Amino acid sequence: MIFNRYVLPNDKFRFVSVNKAFLKSTGLTEKQVVGKTTAEVIPDSSHSLVINSYKKSIQDKQVVTWVERSNYPSGERIGVVSIAPVFDANEQCIHLIGSVKDITAEERLKEREAELRRSQRRSKSGTWEYHIRTSENRWSHELYTLYGYEHYEIEPTYEFIVNHILHSDNKKIFDTVLSDILEGNDISEFCSEF
């Protein structure tokens, strides 16, 4: 997302232009943004952070970057904002050119992963992923703990899991399901408790 702000006296800033990505991400219309001041567009919860970042960029005469959480008509957006000052021949800042990288999805994923880790820790459970095509195994942090290992103390290879983790009764079932998958047979999700 790209935006251009005109610098006004008394720490005021007016939107000159924004691109379509800015409008789509925020849920605002061009009429709601262009020609409006920062105070008219940026939610109150972020306003002082934004103004202070603008002032720092102008004072230091350099790009300033920050992470901003704001609520817009499209919902809460989390973005990495960078702003660059543009000076005239008299060393007066006349514009601020900015960009925003929307990281809302990435931040939501991190929040969900942290929530999953907390839930697994509380319930004393863990997850194991086995990617058949690559033979890559992934254990959650909690699964290492449940089996008495420090995180990444051992590498959870297929062979290690079959020989040290799976109960002997489950080995044959696991191998059968794995063979069915590799042969392209349609099976539903395989679940096993250890």
How do residues 48-104 score in pLDDT, each as one tens digit?
A: 999 999 999 999 999 999 999 999 999 999 999 999 999 999 999 999 999 999 999
Distance (Å, whole) CA 43 – CA 50:
10
Residue among 75, 20, 33, 79 at smallest CA distance from 53 = 79
Distance CA 145, CA 150 (A): 6
User: What is the pLDDT of the chain when averaged over all its residues?
Assistant: 87
pTM for the predicted model, two decimal places: 0.66
Could you tell me the pLDDT band of residue 190, with boundaries at 50, 70 and 90? low
What's the CATH fold of domain 2-102? Beta-Lactamase (3.30.450)
pLDDT of residue 145: 87
Question: Of 3.30.450, 3.90.1150, 3.40.50, 1.10.10, which CATH number belongs to 113-182?
Answer: 3.30.450
- Find tokens 């660059």 and name the residue: 84
Domain boundaries for CATH 3.30.450.20 within the chain: 2-102
Task: Give Cα separations from 73 to 45, 80, 92 (angstroms).
Answer: 14, 19, 34
